[in-house]
Amino acid sequence: MEFPSLPLQSFTMVPQLGITYNGTIAYCPQEAWIIPGTLRDNVLFGSELDEKALEKIYAVCNLTPDIKRMKLGDLYEVGEHGIQH
């Protein structure tokens, strides 16, 4: 199913905060999935480890607080049912 982008002059997204949006909006469906392995494996997908880049990815995705709470950090095993303790 295709959804066309909608041109908008000024669209208020969060009126309480005064946030507005100028431009177009598009619908982009996604299906979440993970590979068996660690959280880190699911971010790197076999790429070479770059600690600074990985930290930035976690920060941008707001995962840093969660990772800090986990005993093994991003080395926790994940599967189709979430984190494996």
Q: What is the pLDDT of residues 20-39, one digit of tens each?
A: 666 666 667 778 778 889 99
Q: Which of 34, 33, 13, 32 is nearest to 22 (CA)?
A: 13
Encoded tokens for 23: 């431009």
Which pLDDT score, from 0 to 100, does residue 69 have? 94
Which pLDDT score, from 0 to 100, does residue 53 have? 92
Q: Does the reported pTM lie above 0.95?
A: no
Residue 60: how many CB atoms within 10 A of its CB? 9
Which pLDDT score, from 0 to 100, does residue 35 have? 84
Residue 58: how many CB atoms within 10 A of its CB? 20
Which pLDDT score, from 0 to 100, does residue 40 have? 94
Residue ranges, the chain, pLDDT below 50: 10
